[in-house]
Amino acid sequence: MNALALVLLVPLAGFLVALFIPRNAPQNSRWWALLVSLLAFIDSVVMVARFDRGSGGEQFAIDLPWITSPEIHFAISVNGVSLWLVLLSTLLTPLCVLISWRFIQNRVKEFYAFLLLLEFGLIGVFLAQDLFLFYVFWEVSLVPMYFLIGIWGHDRRIYATLKFFLYTFAGSVLMLAAIIYLYNRAGTFSYAAILELLSSGRLVFAPGEQLLLFLAFFLAFAIKVPLFPLHTWLPDAHVEAPSAGSVMLASVMLKMGTYGILHFCLPLFPTAARACAPWIAVLAIIGIIYGALVAMVQPNLKKLVAYSSVSHLGFVVLGIFSFTQIGLDGAVYQMLNHGISTGALFVIVGLLYERRHSLAITDFGGVATVAPWLSTVFLITTLASIGLPLLNNFVGEFLVLQGTAMANYTWTIFASIGVILSACYMLWMYQRVIYGEAGEEVRSHVGDLNPREWAAVIPLIVMMVWMGVYSQSFLPPVSKVNAHVLEQTRINVPFRVERFPSTRPEVARAR
């Protein structure tokens, strides 16, 4: 069977079976979820191994007719970018199962069922090649997350989950209108067919029309990213979500937005995207600096990491709207980096919360003396998040800044401030949590990592180092896709800023 179909179907089948596990056997639910998510992971590794990196284009395509009128296909395939995002989702799901093993004691069966449904929805978003199908997955992934935050979250979980759902839902209904409009114009939901119509000139949008369609899509994606000033749902959702929810939300769900921009907004509406680029870049830069400044003054660990996400995702958006090969490569790489390092941060914060039952930074201090290994892991993750060379974020941020510099040097200067600020708030937080005198509470409650927790953090640490040292394992297929995207955005517009030839040697030397 097609490896891609399995990656998608294993979590779905796992979810359906999980519904029928008796409620009074929580251990069965845990093991089942672990088994299913590991299967999905192994399967996605197989898929990555079989992926033909020479082409980087859409592969493993499946196209089944679903609904005849209007014609909707169950069309999925994977390209050099979504490949890694799928791997990221399947890697993080088993880790989320592990970190929830003890923490979730209440309604265990439902928790793991929703987690598997979430995995299904997220993977589907990255694979869908039919706009209707894409919207279906987009919305389907919303429902399990709504329950994950709302049922297993902290005190203000209901407020947070409603805000999360309504923000995203309201943003995406306009995207639905735009999708229907596209269908009425193009006569198909097939993404490839629409691109074909666009490039052959058989489908042409008037400038105003294109701008509105772009904005309808972009609004849905920008809310998800989240782009300043649409980010206000994110800190609430992150703070209130259980650790697993935070990890999936930060690491994978936010990438739905950036992936959407890259995969749909740019190729479909190139003129509008380029016209809006300066505005969006300014918002991204504001997000970078604002997110960092707000993170600096947060008394709550999770809120700090949440605002750091706003800042980091600003880099991704900035990279995309630099419209340079290097910038786009950096943006995609930064999407993956953020998934790994912020995922790890949320895992660690979750571990701290499990021990101390508090998220307030002032409740910690001196953790290093009682939990040296936990502190070491935390240190590596913190440094990765700051962007220390040899760790993953450095590569991504560097590429983004380089790409941005080729487009507009002023942007780079302002964005670089974010890099400096991230070192300030992360290190300061690390210092307050880990060093100093260990209080009574910390000494009695905070223990070091147990084997299950080791199993949850080691893969992430390995990835941080791997991605930081040898980005060549990941970047070539990404570059191929991005080159193609750039090619598509050049259809209607003369290309303005490309002074560098966008070929591999440049990127390689830059690194």
Contact 99, 152 (CB under 8 A): no
Identify each DSSP E strand in 68-176 by its residue range.
Answer: 72-78
Interface with other proteins (CB under 8 A), residue total 34
Structure tokens at 225: 């990213």
31 or 169, CB closer to other proteins?
169
Contact 231, 150 (CB under 8 A): no
Of the candidates 34, 162, 193, 296, which one interacts with other proteins according to CB under 8 A? 162
As measured in angstroms, the least distance from the Cβ of 60 to other proteins is 23
Contact 21, 29 (CB under 8 A): yes
Whether the ω angle into residue 70 lies within 30 degrees of 0, i.e. cis, is yes
Of the candidates 20, 54, 68, 201, which one interacts with other proteins according to CB under 8 A? 68
3 or 268, CB closer to other proteins?
268
Q: What residues form DSSP beta bridges with 74?
A: 64
Torsion of CA 327, 331, 334, 339, to 10 degrees: 180
Burial classification of residue 27, based on how many CB atoms lie within 10 Å of its CB (0-12 exposed, 13-18 middle, 19 or more buried)? exposed
Of the candidates 5, 6, 38, 174, which one interacts with other proteins according to CB under 8 A? 174
17 or 166, CB closer to other proteins?
166
26 or 477, CB closer to other proteins?
26
Whether the ω angle into residue 270 lies within 30 degrees of 0, i.e. cis, is no
74 or 191, CB closer to other proteins?
74
As measured in angstroms, the least distance from the Cβ of 145 to other proteins is 12
- Residue 24 binds other proteins (CB under 8 A): no
Contacts of 436 (CB under 8 A, 6+ apart): 365, 366
Instruction: Give the Cα separation of 340 and 89 in Å (integer).
Output: 10
As measured in angstroms, the least distance from the Cβ of 169 to other proteins is 5
- Residue 5 binds other proteins (CB under 8 A): no
CA distances from 237 to 149, 229, 280 (A): 7, 16, 24
As measured in angstroms, the least distance from the Cβ of 492 to other proteins is 23
- Residue 13 binds other proteins (CB under 8 A): no
124 or 327, CB closer to other proteins?
124
138 or 264, CB closer to other proteins?
138
51 or 132, CB closer to other proteins?
132
- Residue 491 binds other proteins (CB under 8 A): no
CA distances from 397 to 94, 173, 311, 418 (A): 28, 33, 12, 10
As measured in angstroms, the least distance from the Cβ of 162 to other proteins is 6
The region of 175-183, 325-333, 415-423, 493-501 touching other proteins under the rule CB under 8 A is 175-183
Of the candidates 25, 27, 70, 420, which one interacts with other proteins according to CB under 8 A? 70
Instruction: Tell whether the torsion through CA atoms of 446, 436, 382 and 148 is positive or negative.
Output: positive
- Residue 420 binds other proteins (CB under 8 A): no
As measured in angstroms, the least distance from the Cβ of 431 to other proteins is 37
Alpha helices in 357-450 (DSSP H): 367-370, 372-386, 392-407, 409-434, 440-445
As measured in angstroms, the least distance from the Cβ of 126 to other proteins is 16
Contact 130, 75 (CB under 8 A): yes
- Residue 184 binds other proteins (CB under 8 A): yes
As measured in angstroms, the least distance from the Cβ of 186 to other proteins is 13
The region of 164-172, 200-208, 309-317, 398-406 touching other proteins under the rule CB under 8 A is 164-172
- Residue 338 binds other proteins (CB under 8 A): no
Q: Count Cα atoms within 13 angstroms, Cβ side, for 367.
A: 29
Largest CA distance in the chain: 72
51 or 189, CB closer to other proteins?
189
Instruction: Give the Cα separation of 261 and 129 in Å (integer).
Output: 14
DSSP 128: B
- Residue 69 binds other proteins (CB under 8 A): yes
- Residue 215 binds other proteins (CB under 8 A): no
- Residue 192 binds other proteins (CB under 8 A): no
Of the candidates 16, 17, 46, 177, which one interacts with other proteins according to CB under 8 A? 177
Phi first, then psi: give them for residue 373, nearest 5 degrees. -70, -45
Q: Which residues within the stretch 96-155 sit at the binding site for other proteins (CB under 8 A)?
A: 107, 132, 135-137, 139-140, 142-143, 146-147, 150-151
As measured in angstroms, the least distance from the Cβ of 66 to other proteins is 8
Helix (H) or strand (E) holding 61: strand 59-67
Of the candidates 157, 231, 238, 312, which one interacts with other proteins according to CB under 8 A? 157
- Residue 62 binds other proteins (CB under 8 A): no
Q: Is 497 in a helix, a strand, or coil?
A: coil
Contact 44, 87 (CB under 8 A): yes
The region of 24-32, 61-69, 405-413, 466-474 touching other proteins under the rule CB under 8 A is 61-69
- Residue 173 binds other proteins (CB under 8 A): yes
User: Closest Cα to residue 2, out of 98, 57, 105, 75?
Assistant: 75
Contact 400, 319 (CB under 8 A): yes
Give the residues lining the site for other proteins (CB under 8 A): 23, 67-70, 107, 132, 135-137, 139-140, 142-143, 146-147, 150-151, 157-158, 161-162, 165-166, 169-170, 173-174, 176-177, 180-181, 183-184
